[in-house]
Structure 1
Amino acid sequence: MRLDELRVLACTVLRRAGLAGHHAEAVAETIVAGERDGCASHGAYRLLVAANTIRKGIVTSNPKLQIEEPGPALVRVRGDYGFAQLAFARGRPRLVDKARRFGIAAMALNDVVHFAALWPEVEALAEDGLVSLAVTPSHAWVAPAGGTRPVFGTNPIAFGWPRPGRDPFVFDFATSAVARGEIELHRRAGKAVPDDWGYDAEGKATTDAEAVLNGAMRTFGGHKGSALAAMVELLAGPLIGDLTSRQSLIADAERGGSPIGGELLIAIDPAAFLGGSVAEHLAQAEAMFESIERQGARLPSARRYAARAHSLEHGVLIPSALHAEITKILETE
């Protein structure tokens, strides 16, 4: 499919599932971005996830967003339980403005629903010339290091760094050993997962994808990933007055929808620290990137940008079975 065809399909499906037009468009852009950049677990497949969450009554179709300013360099967007993409799109201009005025600014997205990656958001801020960081909890699916019962969400951390004349340096990773969507794709394909991805409901290591989904995932890097997961819980939960991953799962009330809660974004303007020497110091960053690539190592996001270049020219391949599931929404909703 060409990307514009996928965008039309995504918007049509989301509207048919119940989202208002502007809401559907914001969500569709993230789905198209995932597929465009070769991230199948966050691409067209997420239309099924979003439609299921809408069907379960977890998402507000046409949310009434409220934008507040708790402090001079702070923005809060109360999302009225719409998807986070709409809240980010509405709050982004004010966050960018405050970061440029004060050098650093933070934005809390409260009462939103999450189902996607965070890298489109930090990449957008990096394209605005800002260094950016984003974190969010999810549902309690992940056990702490040394335990086998869920406490944390997949709790991603995303970072963006502007590169003049180049695509931004961006990374986005779950603090779990793997994204939950990746385990779901294994389940759908009937494939085993590595035995270090998670536990079954009895706390035993397993290669059964469905057993992990019904049990507990693991953090990456043992206690290090566990500590980062706890940090995300605190920054995007209690700090901004929103839910932890355990509270999100309770709020779901066994409906099986996407996580409910908050997100924290921090944006920093390099020029505020560096003034007239900003170009000189950004050049030092470029020297570091070059030293990484010169020895054959890959920069985070390089693979996505390569996939993007191919997709923009040739389109994307959607598995026929997945396409059939997606189009079925148009017949049933």
Structure 2
Amino acid sequence: MSGDEVSYTPGPLDRDAPFYVAGHRGLVGSAIMRRLEADGFSRVFGATSAELDLKDREAVFEQLGRTRPRYLVLAAAKVGGILANSTYPVDFLSENLRIQTNVLDAALANDVERVVFLGSSCIYPKLAPQPIREDALLTGHLEPTNDAYAIAKIAGILHVQAVRRQYGLPWISAMPTNLYGPNDNFSRTGSHVLPALIRRYDDAAASGAASVTNWGSGTPRREFLHSDDMADAVLHLLENYDGAAQVNVGTGTDATIREIAEKIAAITGFTGETAWDTTKPDGTPQKLLDVSLLTSTGWTSSIGLDEGLERTVAWYRDHRDELRE
């Protein structure tokens, strides 16, 4: 059976069916929980890492066997910025492969009807033509600073496609662009660029520092999507899309890291100088997703970057005393 032979017509999901969100406390998972509950889903659940180690295959099988979800979103992953990815590639490869394989195998064993696997735009080649189309996958070399993480996510996409071919289940994959919002990782060493900038500029504004130094040249272009928009897109895809191809999820617009830094500096009230340490890596020069497939299903983002940054800075300030260092 090929992925094109999956017999399924997308439509409204059963709001009373059990719905499992793997990674429900994280940036994306928590946004999906909020979105589902706001939309009337009455049996949405997950498990904290203390309650369930997704790297423990037996425990994952027991959890899904006991709860028997009809729908599942796999939003759990070990994630980090350039420093973490380039320093601990084994961890990012091994842990993500185990999480994905355990959850997807357990979902298959327990007849989960509809699964969404969430990947990352880093699956695409470093020098892919911009904006990046879904068919750019596996057409060139990956960005070396996060290739291990990317390979794990590519394996997840192929896992979903293999389930479609072999078992005919309407499982799908979505590839978000760079995400940000409440419950992001704002740690000093493990965060992605946007939360790292928010913490850096907010600290500098609070301390009255004269300058802030950022990694790289500031010239790479990046696309950012608020996590609440991502959650909305996930529900939309569940109810409106079925296909073997992974779906890019983004805004279709980008900005330079320098422009992002200037916006965050203004929002946090930092008035000092910004320096750029060009001895540090820039990563991919540009990473803008082609979102025409997503748009063709009837969805576009609704939270603008300025609004999203203001909301995220406000959330960070309300919660910074609780966040990891």
Bucket of the pairwise TM-score, normalised by the shorter protein: under 0.3
Normalising to structure 2: TM-score of the pair?
0.26
Normalising to structure 1: TM-score of the pair?
0.25
